[in-house]
Amino acid sequence: MPNHINEIRKNDFTWVSVSKPVKSALNQIGRQFNLRPEDVEACLPPLQRPKLIPGPNYLFMILLFPIFNRKTKEIESTEVDFFIGKNFLITVHDNSLVPIRETFEEFEKSKNANAFSTGKILTEVLDSLFKYCYPILIHISQDIDNVEKRVFEIHNQKVTFEIMRLKTNVVEFKSNTALHNYVINKLITLGPNYFNGKRTYDRLNGLIEDTKEIRASLDNNSETIYAIFDTHQSLINLRANQIMKNLQIFAVIVFPLTLLAAIFGMNTLGSMPFHSHPYGFWIIAAIMLCGTFAMLLFFKWRKWY
């Protein structure tokens, strides 16, 4: 098989892991396992919404998971597709999720014959993917705690950009995992036709608890980052309003002084006061200075600044 398709065959059970899927390879697998063309097509870009659809001899499940881009420090989405049959499991992914690769390698090396069944491998893969979400959640929580301490640094644009990045990351994470609970519950309902075993359903119920815990953590992070964002925006708006107020006060002070200077600059030598006085310039400057201080005192008394 091509190097982007890996396969394990044991005890009449087959697990096919397709990484970086291309249409030709998926069509080949579709013919081999009698998969519906529309389901095969859904494994190709763009990303699909999470769902679980019964097929003729399998369940077709799509889940989205977050991945953290260390270069951009942003949460991105990746899709994992599952074809769940009685004696086969097909996983399709873009090879960005380490848990799938590690789980495949673990089963590839395993010599335990009882380990190879649809329910066993499916729950192992799902469990590893959900556990993979927790370190990202912790990382986001730590980043939120750090930026919360800097919320009053309204002069630092980096803080504003960091708050926006975290806000976007939380929204992206929530959109990825929003339907996990619904899909896993539906899997529990439809699963008996394709796999069985009390341990399998115990683990699936455990995944339901994981979805609730992840959702609760995301809701808490969302409320916190939105509160931080609102506080930071309020402080920025307050500073902007203060700057505008100071500029308006400055304009109110400068305008009459400019008018006074323009009047005394008029070429009316006979009637212009202080024009021939030896200290005329200083008298006019003193009048302007006194007017400035008078307006400042008035503004202060009115508590306008």
Adjacency order of strands within the sheet including 13-19: 5-10, 13-19, 88-93, 74-84, 59-69, 51-54
- Tokens 């881009």 belong to residue: 69
The answer to whether 16 and 29 have CB atoms below 8 angstroms apart is yes
What local confidence, expressed as pLDDT, does residue 293 receive?
A: 82
What local confidence, expressed as pLDDT, does residue 288 receive?
A: 76
The backbone torsions φ and ψ at residue 89, rounded to the nearest 5 degrees and listed phi first, read: -140, 130
What local confidence, expressed as pLDDT, does residue 12 receive?
A: 86
In a shared domain, residues 39 and 89? yes
What local confidence, expressed as pLDDT, does residue 242 receive?
A: 80
In a shared domain, residues 246 and 207? no
Query: Rounded to an integer, what distance in angstroms lies between the CA atom of residue 154 and that of residue 166?
Result: 17
The answer to whether 58 and 33 have CB atoms below 8 angstroms apart is yes
In a shared domain, residues 97 and 184? yes
What local confidence, expressed as pLDDT, does residue 251 receive?
A: 78
Q: Which two tokens stand for residue 178?
A: 């929003």
Q: Which two tokens stand for residue 225?
A: 């980052």
From residue 209, give the alpha-carbon distance in Å to each of 131, 172, 214, 279: 12, 21, 9, 88
Q: Which two tokens stand for residue 74?
A: 């942003």
Element (H, E) at 81: strand 74-84
Choose one of 180, 207, 233: the last residue of a domain: 233
The CATH code of the domain that includes 98 is 3.30.460.20
Choose one of 181, 206, 233: the last residue of a domain: 233
One-letter amino acid for residue 171 of the chain: V
Query: Rounded to an integer, what distance in angstroms lies between the CA atom of residue 265 and that of residue 258?
Result: 10
Please provide the average confidence, as pLDDT, over all residues in the chain. 88
In a shared domain, residues 82 and 166? yes
- How many independent structural domains does the chain possess? 2
State the residue range of the domain holding 293: 239-301
Q: CB under 8 Å to 75, separation ≥6 — which residues?
A: 66, 67, 68, 69, 136, 140, 168, 169, 172, 173, 176
Q: Which two tokens stand for residue 222?
A: 């969302």
- In three-state secondary structure terms, 270 is coil
Query: Rounded to an integer, what distance in angstroms lies between the CA atom of residue 101 and that of residue 92?
Result: 11
pLDDT tens digit at each of 305 positions of the chain: 555 889 998 888 899 999 988 898 899 999 999 999 999 999 998 889 999 999 889 999 999 999 999 899 999 999 999 999 999 999 999 998 999 999 999 988 887 766 788 999 999 999 999 999 999 999 999 999 999 999 888 788 899 999 999 999 999 999 999 999 999 999 999 998 888 888 899 999 999 999 999 999 999 999 999 999 999 888 888 888 888 877 777 777 777 777 777 776 666 655 666 666 676 667 777 877 887 788 778 777 777 66
In a shared domain, residues 226 and 243? no
Query: Rounded to an integer, what distance in angstroms lies between the CA atom of residue 251 and that of residue 77?
Result: 52
